[in-house]
Structure 1
Amino acid sequence: LLPGDSNHTVAAASMDTAGRIYAGVNVFHFTGGPCAELVVLGQAAAAGPLVTMVAVGDRGRGVIAPCGRCRQVLLDQHPDCLVIVPGDGEPDLVPVRKLLPHAYNSPEAAPERVVRFNPRYYDAVLDGSKTATTRFDDPCAVGPAWLLFEFDEGYKRLRGVIESVESKRLDQLTDEDAEQEGGMVAADLQNGLRGHYPAIQPESPVDFVRFRVEQTSTWT
């Protein structure tokens, strides 16, 4: 609970890939005290990548969107974080990159990355029968990454490495691509993507991402 004074008016909380929660409040000061989201980042400094963030205001304001500075810091340090923001009625869950279009990308940031998967793919990723994923408007980067699966019981995660990211049109996906996705043919892969992404079109650019698993699973 906030103490009810003008120095602490916003609280924030975030979750990491292990399902641990970090919370903090803002510290107002005329010299420029930190926002609640930045306090949370400090609390979670040793946690690895954060996957969700939310802030709420005092006096019944409810969920509030992060300021511009917090958006930039989150994008630099936790680019795969989803942020809860006010919506039309209910709050919305939005990728942080959507909150800061045409953002500056800090070359020194070197953040840990997260790639989310539907939990039904966990066994196939673990046994190596699924070594690729196709993404629409969901960028990945070559290098180490947490492969994250959200089950009802909690997160399950694998350490992995993104080996390559190839951009192509939806209608250019091949049977070879689909086989790496998990034993499909191109038509099945394209139809599955159309079902998952209603806005996707045959000419839409998608990223075909190849990866490998580096570590066995961990329940958290």
Structure 2
Amino acid sequence: MDPFESELRVIEAAEELAATLGGDKNHTVAAAAMDTNGVIHRAVNVYHFTGGPCAEFVVIGLAATAGAGPLVTMAAAGDGGRGFMPPCGRCRQAMLDIHPDIMVAVPTDNGSQMRPVRKMLPDTYFFPEADSRRLLRFSKTYYDAVANGTKVTTVRFDDPVVPGPYIFIFEDDAEHRRLDGMVTKVQHYRLDQMTAEQACLTPGECVDEFRGGLRARYPELSDQDEVGVVEFELI
């Protein structure tokens, strides 16, 4: 997916730091990561024959030192004008375990794109002992409805939401507002068989129009696919 303005700032921060490198062969890659408060943390790699850490590893540690909590966005860039680059396999695994809901910037033929880290490691091993705090993303237009309790459900496709505590974040929100919440229930239904009641629609809402809205949001969604109805509350 195309990056939001806030995600573009993370890419720019990585590229700006990378542009200052080049005089020291031990530090050749820069990384930037944004936390849920909108703070961008930056760091560089440490190249060494014993296996020095990548820039993504260093910035994860730097953010933890600052008490940043879950990270929302990650980008890395190389020195010498190499531009931003995707993370290596080890960094992908670490991000999946420690920050499982992070979005990662990758270069494509169509320009900068954002990928959920779990999509970058299909059929991966997951390290449950990491006990990471989860994030649940919403459009920034839903902030008031979530904050005042009028919106207590959301429908997701191909998104592994499970019951438990979450930080609710609102995409590309200039104020970087966040709420602490709890996912209380997740139920799955086949799209073409889901009723208005199962979708938790309000009286008068048309389930066919609702299905059409989901297809527009998730172009890869078919009638035979299952979607998850997520119930949540603030804590």
Q: TM-score, normalised by structure 1?
A: 0.91
Q: Aligned AA for 2:27?
A: H
**1:217 corresponds to:** none
1:160 and 2:181 correspond = yes
Aligned residue in 1 for 2:5? none
| Corresponding residue number in structure 2 for 1:11 | 30
* One-letter amino acid of the structure 1 residue matched with residue 152 of structure 2: T
Among all aligned residue pairs of Structure 1 and Structure 2, give the percentage whose two residues are the same amino acid. 52
1:52 aligns with 2:73: yes
1:152 offset after TM fit, Å?
4.9
Aligned positions, number: 214
What residue ranges of structure 1 are gaps of 5+ in the alignment? 215-220
1:114 paired with 2:96, answer no
Q: Secondary structure at the match of 1:199?
A: coil
Q: 1:168: how far off?
A: 1.7
Q: Give yes or no for contact 1:55–1:64 (8 Å, CA) kept in 2.
A: yes
Contact 1:130 1:180 in 2 (8 A): no
Aligned to 1:26: 45
For 2:30 and 2:58, locate their aligned partners in 1 and report how far apart those are by CA, in whole Å: 9
Separation of aligned partners in 1, 2:171 and 2:99: 18
- Cα distance between partner residues in 2 of 1:183 and 1:147: 28
Matched, 1:78 2:81: no
d(CA) in 2 for partners of 1:132, 1:172: 18
Q: CA RMSD in A?
A: 1.8
> 1:116-131 residue pairs with structure 2 within 5 A?
116-131=137-152
Which residue is equivalent to 1:193?
214
User: Which residue is 1:39 aligned to?
Assistant: 58
Q: CA deviation at 1:139?
A: 1.8
Alpha-carbon distance between aligned partners in 2 of 1:155 and 1:114, rounded to the nearest angstrom: 13
Deviation at 1:151, TM superposition (A): 4.7
Cα pair distance change 1:127/1:152, threshold 3 Å: closer
Give the whole-Å Cα distance in 1 for the aligned partners of 2:101 and 2:36: 11
Counterpart amino acid of residue 24 in structure 1: A
Q: Per-residue deviation at 1:176?
A: 2.0
Flag as ranges the 4+ runs of structure 1 deviating above 6 A.
none
User: Aligned letter for 2:37?
Assistant: A
1:64 deviates by: 0.9
Q: For structure 2, which runs of at least 5 residues remain unmatched after alignment?
A: 1-19
Secondary structure at the aligned position of 1:44 is classed as helix
- In 2, Cα distance between the equivalents of 1:182 and 1:116? 26
Conserved? CA contact 2:155–2:199, under 8 Å: no
Q: In the alignment, which residue of structure 2 is the partner of 1:218?
A: none
8 Å contact from structure 2 (residues 140, 173) kept in 1: no
Quote how far apart the aligned CAs of 1:72 are. 0.3
Shift, 1:149, TM fit: 1.0
1:63-120 Cα deviation digits (max 9, x unpaired): 1111111000000011110000111141211110111111101120111111111122
185-194 or 142-151: bigger deviation:
185-194
Q: Deviations over 1:11-58 (max 9, x none)?
A: 000001110111100001111111000000001112111110000001
- Counterpart pick for 1:95 among 97, 116, 120: 116
Q: Specify the alignment match of 1:67 in structure 2.
A: 88
CA deviation after TM superposition for structure 1 residue 182, in Å = 9.8
Residues 154, 17 of structure 1: CA spacing in aligned structure 2 closer, same or farther, 3 A cutoff? same
Contact 2:169 2:179 in 1 (8 A): yes
Whether the 8 Å contact between 1:174 and 1:185 is mirrored in structure 2 is no
